[in-house]
Amino acid sequence: MKDIYILGIETSCDETSASIVKNGNEEIATVVLSQIDIHKDFGGVVPEIASRHHVKNITIVIEECLEKANMEINQIDGIAVTYGPGLVGSLLVGVEAAKTLAYANNIPLIPVNHMSGHIYANELEKPLEFPLIALVISGGHTELIYMKDHYNFEKIGGTLDDAVGECYDKVARIVNVPYPGGPTIDRWAYEGKDTYSLSLPLNDDSYNFSFSGLKSAVINLVHNEKQRGNEIRKKDLAASFQNTVIEIITKKTMRALKDYQVNHLIIAGGVAANKVLRERLMELCQKENISFSCPSIQHCTDNAAMIAASGYHAYLLGHRADLTLNPQSSLELANQKAVNNKE
């Protein structure tokens, strides 16, 4: 069979990225230009600034990627682009670049959901095995997805308010850690002790999550300690917060695997880079004879290799978009086929 090369383009938030992936799992070249340092001063991503930087960088990133791969654009079989969910102005830059390249070079244009990209980052490690449960945890999402087959997404649970990564970043901000604070909280938690008492949020029989109450509990705890003149033990607070988050996430994920009689768990998204969460899930899965897969750390946070990996399967399934493709900031994973499948 002929080798298939997909060029992935990702601009949904604050990373401008392009990647070429062969046959859905072999990363040939990837370029990721992060804007984290630019947004740090504002304590989060400023949408208008993000889109302006994407505009400035998109052509450079795509050209550099082709150069790194030592390939010409006419060797590309499909251009996969993130068209949602994300910041609409940021998404627009990637979508317009992909449409222009596809049209000018007569290459199929493949619409990819950002969350599907996070899930397919796992294929860069090993092939997905079905049926599976995917725990997708990022700065914007916290979802449990049941997949019977490729591109068959059934959302069985999600957050009712803040996403888990968002909660990490907000808790980090309370203790003066710059955006994005997740990795620092993760590091501190590893060194600290779970000594602060925080209750498990939405500890019920659903597969849903809620993190805004936990965030408020941490804010109140910090204020109360300050009022009493007590010093906050930041590492212990990080450990207490992280243990609470991980306990509720692992509890609901393991129950979903049991209820759906599924033997394969994958995790995805920026928070999947969390060291303790990875270790804990690996242990629990081993005990239950469940296979566990997580992307490499650099493929957990936003990158275009995951978009190309997902785009490969979309390409095989015949998903195509034409020049009317528009970004959709609140695109749902389950709706993808209905919204944008041009066969």
Judged by the rule CB under 6 A, the positions of this chain that interact with ligand KG4 are 13, 138-140, 165, 168-169, 180-183, 186, 269-271, 273-274, 301-302
Complex with ligand KG4: residue 190 or 260, whichever CB lies closer: 190
Cβ of residue 302: shortest distance to Zn ion, in angstroms? 4
Structure tokens at 267: 């995790």
Buried b (16+ CB within 10 A) or exposed e, 212-244: ebbbebbeebbeeeeeeeeeebbbbbbbbbbbb
Complex with Zn ion: residue 192 or 269, whichever CB lies closer: 269
Complex with ligand KG4: residue 19 or 138, whichever CB lies closer: 138
The 126-165 contact track toward Zn ion, x by CB under 5 A, reads ------------x---------------------------
Which listed option, Zn ion, ligand KG4, none, makes contact with residue 96 (CB within 5 to 8 Å by class)?
none
Cβ of residue 72: shortest distance to ligand KG4, in angstroms? 30
Which listed option, ligand KG4, Zn ion, none, makes contact with residue 169 (CB within 5 to 8 Å by class)?
ligand KG4
Complex with Zn ion: residue 36 or 200, whichever CB lies closer: 36
Alpha-carbon torsion angle 314, 317, 321, 326, nearest 10: -40
Which listed option, ligand KG4, Zn ion, none, makes contact with residue 273 (CB within 5 to 8 Å by class)?
ligand KG4
Cβ of residue 134: shortest distance to ligand KG4, in angstroms? 13
| Cα R_g (the chain), whole angstroms | 20
Cβ of residue 35: shortest distance to ligand KG4, in angstroms? 12
The residues that bridge with 132 in the sheet, in sequence order, are: 147
Under 8 Å between Cβ of 238 and 195: no
Under 8 Å between Cβ of 278 and 294: yes
DSSP states of 65-93 as a string?
HHHHHT--GGG-SEEEEEEESS-HHHHHH
DSSP H helical ranges for the chain: 36-40, 47-69, 88-105, 114-120, 164-174, 182-191, 212-227, 234-259, 275-287, 297-300, 305-316, 336-340
Is residue 31 helix, strand or coil? strand
Cβ of residue 116: shortest distance to Zn ion, in angstroms? 11
Closest residue by beta carbon to ligand KG4: 270
Complex with ligand KG4: residue 180 or 192, whichever CB lies closer: 180
By the 10 Å C-beta count (0-12 exposed, 13-18 middle, 19+ buried), 316 is classed as: middle
How far apart CA 16 and CA 230 sit, in angstroms, is 43
Binding test (CB under 5 A) with Zn ion, winner from 10, 96, 162, 302: 302
Under 8 Å between Cβ of 332 and 38: no
Complex with ligand KG4: residue 32 or 132, whichever CB lies closer: 32
Among the listed ranges 41-49, 178-186, 296-304, 312-320, the one in contact with Zn ion (CB under 5 A) is: 296-304
Cβ of residue 140: shortest distance to Zn ion, in angstroms? 7
β-pairing, 78-84 vs 5-10, is parallel
Interaction of residue 90 with Zn ion, rule CB under 5 A: no
Cβ of residue 269: shortest distance to ligand KG4, in angstroms? 4
Q: What is the DSSP letter of 270?
A: G
- Binding-site size for Zn ion (CB under 5 A) equals 2
Cβ of residue 105: shortest distance to ligand KG4, in angstroms? 29
How far apart CA 313 and CA 317 sit, in angstroms, is 6
The 170-209 contact track toward Zn ion, x by CB under 5 A, reads ----------------------------------------
Is residue 4 helix, strand or coil? coil
Binding positions for Zn ion, rule: CB under 5 A: 138, 302
